[in-house]
Amino acid sequence: MKPNFASFSRRNFLRNVAFGTVLFTTPGLFAEQLFETPSLTEGPFYPDVMPLDVDNDLLIINDSITPAVGEVANITGRLLSANGSPLKDVTIEIWQCDANAVYLHSADSTPKKKQQDKHFQGFGRFTTGSTGEYRFRTIKPVAYPGRPAAHIHVKLKKGDRELLTTQLFVRGFPGNAQDGIFRDTRDLIDRELLLADFVPVKDSKIGELAASFDIIVGRTPDENSFPGRQPRR
Q: Residues 151, 169: contact at Cβ < 8 Å? A: yes
Where residue 110 falls among pLDDT bands split at 50, 70, 90? confident
Average pLDDT score over residue span 12-25: 45
Per the structure, the complete domain to which residue 192 belongs is given by: 36-217
> Is 146 part of a structural domain of the chain?
yes
Residue with more model confidence, 232 or 135: 135
Four-residue CA torsion sign, 109, 111, 115, 119:
positive
Distances from the Cα of 18 to the Cα of 12, 79, 192, angstroms: 10, 25, 11
Average pLDDT score over residue span 122-133: 98
> Is 30 part of a structural domain of the chain?
no
Where residue 32 falls among pLDDT bands split at 50, 70, 90? low
Query: Residue 135's closest CA among 55, 220, 207?
Result: 55
Count the domains in the chain: 1
| H or E element in which residue 170 lies | strand 161-170
> Is 127 part of a structural domain of the chain?
yes
> Is 175 part of a structural domain of the chain?
yes
Residue with more model confidence, 108 or 228: 108
> Is 91 part of a structural domain of the chain?
yes
> Is 210 part of a structural domain of the chain?
yes
User: Average pLDDT over the chain, rounded to whole?
Assistant: 85
**Residue 15's pLDDT is what?**
42
CATH of the domain at 160: 2.60.130.10
Total-model pTM: 0.82
> Is 90 part of a structural domain of the chain?
yes
> Is 12 part of a structural domain of the chain?
no
pLDDT at position 28 over 50: no
